[in-house]
Amino acid sequence: EAGVVQSPRYKIIEKKQPVAFWCNPISGHNTLYWYLQNLGQGPELLIRYENEEAVDDSQLPKDRFSAERLKGVDSTLKIQPAELGDSAVYLCASSFSGTEDNEQFFGPGTRLTVL
């Protein structure tokens, strides 16, 4: 069974440029998460989707970040315009909320460098 797929794995852009990250969750998982991981820190939640609905986006900086999950499967996270402080790893995770333990599975992440 394929795990969570993310692309690209690495992205280098100049500040003020736009960037987008893509995530394909594990088949059948209805919940999708985007986390941000700064160097030396644990991941922090940006947004959580239940199917197509964003049910927790309280930590998403909405002035420059946006996300969508059309058809309740794949998701895209966008930053426009990117700032130097956005350099980090962006992790996507998925889970099936119908299980008792609701275990989250993570993708390999996209490492963003903003110059």
Partner 1 sequence: KQEVTQIPAALSVPEGENLVLNCSFTDSAIYNLQWFRQDPGKGLTSLLLIQSSQREQTSGRLNASLDKSSGRSTLYIAASQPGDSATYLCAVQGGSEKLVFGKGMKLTVNP
* List of residues contacting partner 1 (CB under 8 A): 4, 6, 31, 33, 35, 40-45, 48, 56, 91, 93, 97, 100-109, 111
Least distance to partner 1, CB of residue 115, Å: 19
Distance CA 49, CA 73 (A): 10
Least distance to partner 1, CB of residue 106, Å: 4
Least distance to partner 1, CB of residue 78, Å: 20
Least distance to partner 1, CB of residue 49, Å: 11
What lies within 8 Å, CB to CB, of 9 at 6+ separation is: 108, 109, 110, 111
Q: Residue 55 or 84: which CB sits closer to partner 1?
A: 55
Q: Residue 39 or 70: which CB sits closer to partner 1?
A: 39
Q: Are 6 and 110 in contact (CB under 8 A)?
A: yes
Q: Which residues pair with 34 in a beta bridge?
A: 47, 92
Q: Residue 50 or 81: which CB sits closer to partner 1?
A: 50
